[in-house]
A and B are shown apart, each in its own frame.
Chain A
Amino acid sequence: MNVNETDLLIVGAGPAGMAAAVTARRHGLSVRVLDDQPAPGGQIWRAIETVAATPRLARLGESYRAGADRASAFRSCGALYEPESQLWQIEPGFRAFLTQQGKARSVTARAVILATGAQERPVPFPGWTLPGVLTVGAAQILLKTADSVPTSPVWIAGCGPLPLLYMTQLLAAGGRIAGFLDTTPRGRIGAALRHLPKGLGRLADLAKGLSWSLALKRAGFPIIHHVAELRAEGAGRLESLHYRTQDGREGEVTAEVLLVHEGVVPNIHAPLALGCAVSWHAGQHCYVPELDSWGETSQVNVFVAGDGAGIGGAEAAEPRGRIAALRVAARLGKLGEGEAESAARSERSRLARALALRPFLDALYAPRPQVFAPADETLVCRCEEVTAGELRARAVQGRPGPNQIKAFTRAGMGPCQGRQCGYTMAHIVAAAQNRPVEEVGFYRIRPPLKPVTLGELASLGELASLDEREPAA
């Protein structure tokens, strides 16, 4: 077999990617897994293999520990696993371009499963770009990979399960919390409760969340509820933090580190770049790829599994990965349609159970409206330094869409390809033009999906030019 060709290319070695690889290998497919991390596990089980051998494992909790078995099953499944690979382009057919150790090359596959997970929703407010302001997710990665605990007490602002989990983990690791600015708006529990009956089977998860909350209350740091607005200030780095609650209470505190989090959204850049249709997910306030019951996108043989298919967490990611792999195995003649269907049945019920509590969580932790309507002076596009005010002003000159706004203001033109500003831009344009955000759309995605250097791209050319070199006369 040519090492550059496999039946299936899986992008991402988190819960979905690993589960898909194990299933696909079981059915005899040749599988390549590309991942930008040095070891399997994705974000949730980041560094699980190294941490599993240390006392840190206990501090990081039960659901983290579960990753150790998954990583070992993945390691032994026979997939061609290429860690520390940056995938930066997939051409139809499929040819994938990647960079490894400073060299670019391309590989081919007959089907693709994108298991590229989620990213934290960007939280723009005045001062969010100051050094000292980070996301909870980034801090948690440092905790998992390097056992790194901030030296000074940290302020945490946001909502959702992740801040609660991280604070619990941080305290267990000996870190200190200066205070928690809970941005969950008033009345959210009531709104969420109507989704609870469906989620009753997940009471254990609810109990886990409650136990975090109780433990955090006992820890004794201040908790301010219903925080609506934030402003970070400082000369060159974060020095103070100003907040204002929904009912108008204001406070100002000194702060060296502020960690923010307002939920996560699927990584949709790869599906968008491949021309996959997406639609607006009102409950999760983001676009999700349009998928059939196998996780196949509008593009034949392109699948999305894991949080990239819509936020569902690791327990939903694994059945989604397996379901997609079953479909690919059937497509490529390694498995009968009927066998694939019956194998998928139990995975689909697993998926349904895993998603049962999701509508409740989505309603409870829906981002506060201020996340989508930052003050005029707020930088929205960090790469090109475009403010909310500039976007607002431009949005009412004619009726420009995202790509015109991009051309006019340069928002979304930087190396992050709009990952930081895309949704904020869409909400600002929607509000200014008085139309629903789902109608505004997203930037057209231009390759490369990940920044590749000129030298790396040139190395792709070196091979080609060797082939073309004329024989010496």
Chain B
Amino acid sequence: MSTEAFDVAVVGGGLHGLSAALHLARAGRRVAVIERRWTGRHASGATAAGVRTLGRDIAEIPISLEAMAMWHKIADIVGDPCGFHAHGQLRVAETAEHMPALLQREAKIRALGCTHEEIIDAAELRRLVPALSPHCVGALVARRDGAADPHRTILAFRRACEAENVAIVEDCGVEAVDRQGNDWLLVCGQRRFRAPVVVNAAGAWAARLAALFGDEITLGVRASMMIVTERLAPLLAPVVSVVGRALSFKQSDQGTLVIGGGLQGAADLDRERSSVNFSELAKGARAASDLFPAVRGVRIARCWTGIEAQTRDHLPVIGASPNAPGLFHAFGFSGHGFQLVPVVGAILTDLVVEGTTRREIAAFAPRRLMQERVAA
């Protein structure tokens, strides 16, 4: 049985795995991406692909702003614009009672020296989103935010990886891990991979992979539901969310409406399947038709759920394993990892190549979610 040797084995062929592989390959590493099904099978292929700094946790703001700068030149990074358009993201207040929360948020990030989130009044809101129901009173906007095309993004990252000679190995799930000298041996059915460095980008299954290395990390799971409609004439350009309701509403390049917002279906990690809960999803349809009354008659083409990891504090896990040498984690993005894709790959490359990073990632340390070892 032959063993294939690499400098880095990235486990998980979602966008974070591909981004890590791309940056590492550009830093001169020989990289394999090992994917149980196919690239973008789960969360990356099921995402609404919002590119959002708006409303980020304070701890995420520095890397999110850097990621946003990268999205604005994404074609330079991966050779394709990824369907990214910076038409802004808005968080809308339906009533005057919802405005104070938005005003406080603006004040809070201003105090940190950030200017990317800005309060707008009803008139400016109307100008930005004429199709919005007139009852809405104002919004918080991040004008440089936007959205991309998830499938195009997966393809672009994959092609960029292939151009850097990254080996992309699909239909190949890691079943066992062994230590051989300074290398990790990954056992995948009949195949074996050996590398001194492993990146865990296994998404919803990342805690299971971490456990193979001895890292016990508490991780939850999400199954966010999405609605896509038939195509219609241009209705709105920005991505709209709303205070107090689970709704994210946008129109794709193809003209379809893409409606999400974090309403949860059911996930089954063992079967790698998730299912839609229509009684719950009806709330999203109701929010959409309350905010955009013109869409009530629009036909739904497809609904789906994607399986992804969710941490206790909704912050990702990014950093070196405190126990296993050469193991680096990047998962747990809790429903808002798409925008961070370009920067997290760069962070991992810092960690692998330099052993440290100047970027602010202390809040994402794996240790915070690990069982305290019982003192001997």
Contact = CB atoms under 8 A, between A and B. Distances in A.
Contact of A454 (B254, B278, B279, B300): B300
B147 interface: no
Interface stretch (B57-65, B199-207, B280-288): B280-288
Contact of A455 (B254, B296, B304): B296
Interface residues of A, number: 34
B278 A455 contact: no
A303 interface: no
B151 A408 contact: yes
B300 A448 contact: yes
A431 interface: no
B45 A407 contact: yes
Given A454-B295, A454-B296, A458-B289, A464 B301 contact: no
B278 A413 contact: no
A237 B289 CA distance: 36
B276 interface: yes
A452 to B, nearest CB: 5
Contacts, number: 97
A458 B285 contact: yes
Interface string A438-473: 000000001110011111011111101100000000
Contacts of B278: 89, 91, 97, 106, 447, 457, 460
Contact of B303 (A383, A384, A446, A461): A446
- Please classify the interface of chain B as helix (H, G, I), strand (E, B), loop, or mixed, using the class held by over half of its residues: mixed
Contacts of A401: 38
B302 A446 contact: yes
B296 A465 contact: no
B133 interface: no
B297 interface: yes
Contacts of A413: 228, 301-302
B154 interface: yes
B204 to A, nearest CB: 18
Nearest to B159: A397
B17 interface: no
Interface string A218-245: 0000000000000000000000000000
Contacts of A455: 285, 289, 295-297
Contact of A408 (B155, B230, B289, B297): B155
Interface residues of B, number: 34
A23 B134 CA distance: 56
A271 to B, nearest CB: 16
Interface string B284-312: 01101100000111111111100000000
Given A414-B301, A447-B276, A458-B289, A453 B282 contact: no
A400 B298 contact: no
A462 B289 CA distance: 12
A407 B259 CA distance: 18
Among A398, A401, A451, A453, which residue has the most Cβ atoms of chain B within 10 A? A453
A183 interface: no
Interface in B235-267: 254, 259
A447 B303 contact: yes
A400 B299 contact: no
A106 B38 CA distance: 35
A446 B282 contact: no
B124 interface: no
A336 interface: no
Interface string A395-406: 000101100100
Contacts of B302: 413, 417, 446-448
Nearest to A97: B278
Contacts of A454: 227, 229, 259, 285, 288-289, 295-298, 300
B40 interface: yes
B164 to A, nearest CB: 17
Contacts of B286: 458, 461-462, 465
B170 interface: yes
Among A400, A446, A465, which residue has the most Cβ atoms of chain B within 10 A? A446
A447 B285 CA distance: 14
- Please classify the interface of chain A as helix (H, G, I), strand (E, B), loop, or mixed, using the class held by over half of its residues: mixed
Contacts of A384: 254
Contact of A407 (B40, B275, B282, B298): B40
Nearest to B40: A407
Contacts of A453: 296-300
Contact of B285 (A383, A398, A408, A461): A461
A410 interface: yes
Given A454-B295, A461-B285, A410 B254 contact: yes
A58 to B, nearest CB: 40
Contacts of A248: none
A125 B259 CA distance: 35
Contacts of B38: 400-401, 404
Contacts of A97: 278
Interface in A370-402: 383-384, 398, 400-401
Contact of B282 (A383, A415, A417, A461): A461
Interface in B209-250: 227-230
A414 B227 CA distance: 12
B154 to A, nearest CB: 7
A465 B229 CA distance: 23
A452 B299 contact: yes
A401 B296 CA distance: 35
A451 B299 contact: yes
Contacts of B227: 454, 457
Contacts of A106: 278-279
Contacts of B275: 91
Contacts of A415: 230, 299, 301
A97 B288 CA distance: 20
Contacts of B230: 414-415, 451
Nearest to A414: B301
Given A458-B296, A461-B285, 13 more contacts: A89-B278, A91-B275, A404-B38, A407-B40, A413-B302, A414-B301, A415-B230, A415-B301, A417-B301, A447-B278, A454-B259, A454-B295, A457-B285
27 contacts: A398-B170, A407-B40, A407-B45, A407-B151, A413-B301, A415-B301, A446-B302, A446-B303, A447-B303, A451-B299, A453-B297, A454-B227, A454-B229, A454-B288, A454-B289, A454-B300, A455-B289, A455-B295, A457-B227, A457-B300, A458-B289, A460-B285, A461-B279, A461-B282, A461-B285, A464-B279, A465-B283
Interface of B: 38, 40, 45, 151, 154-155, 170, 227-230, 254, 259, 275-276, 278-279, 281-283, 285-286, 288-289, 295-304
